[in-house]
Amino acid sequence: MTLSLAQATDWLTRYGRAWIEQSPEQAAALFTEDCRYFETPFDAPAIGREGVRAYWQAVPDAQRDIEFVYRVLSIDGCTAIAHWHAIFTRVASGERVQLDGVFVLEFADSGLCHTLREWWHRQVQPGQ
């Protein structure tokens, strides 16, 4: 598969929508059944759609007022690299959290992601 900019953009838009709409189901549907989702380079990945769904289940419980933007930096074959930025409020504390990160996304012929690796940094502002 040769990934196009339009395909990468569409996938990232749907990823952001799943986050903003707080939908573990929408997030899981973006991945292959046997995917690997690495939140950090040192943690074990979430495996498969069920692993992604379980990982994303914390979002509706812990976050609100979510914003997500991205920019595709590079595409090589079936791999895309994107810079992303997210802001949300932690439900429990009211803290406003900013995340700035990079995705390396590897896609299957189906157009679904089979490997997601991310690196990100966080800035937290006290709640109001």
CATH code for the domain of 92: 3.10.450.50
| Helix or strand run (H / E) with residue 34 | strand 31-38
Q: What is the mean pLDDT of the chain?
A: 96
The CA dihedral of 106, 14, 122, 101, to the nearest 10 degrees, is 40
The arithmetic mean of pLDDT across residues 102-121, rounded, is 97
Q: Quote the CA–CA distance of 46 and 55 in Å, as a whole number.
A: 7
- What pLDDT band is residue 69 in, cutting at 50, 70 and 90? very high
- Domain of 94, in residue numbers: 5-125
pLDDT, position 128 = 65
Is the Cβ–Cβ distance between 41 and 50 less than 8 Å? no
pLDDT in tens, 14-58: 999 999 999 999 999 999 999 999 999 899 999 999 999 999 998
The count of other CB atoms within 10 Å of the CB of residue 19 is 20
Domain count of the fold of the chain:
1
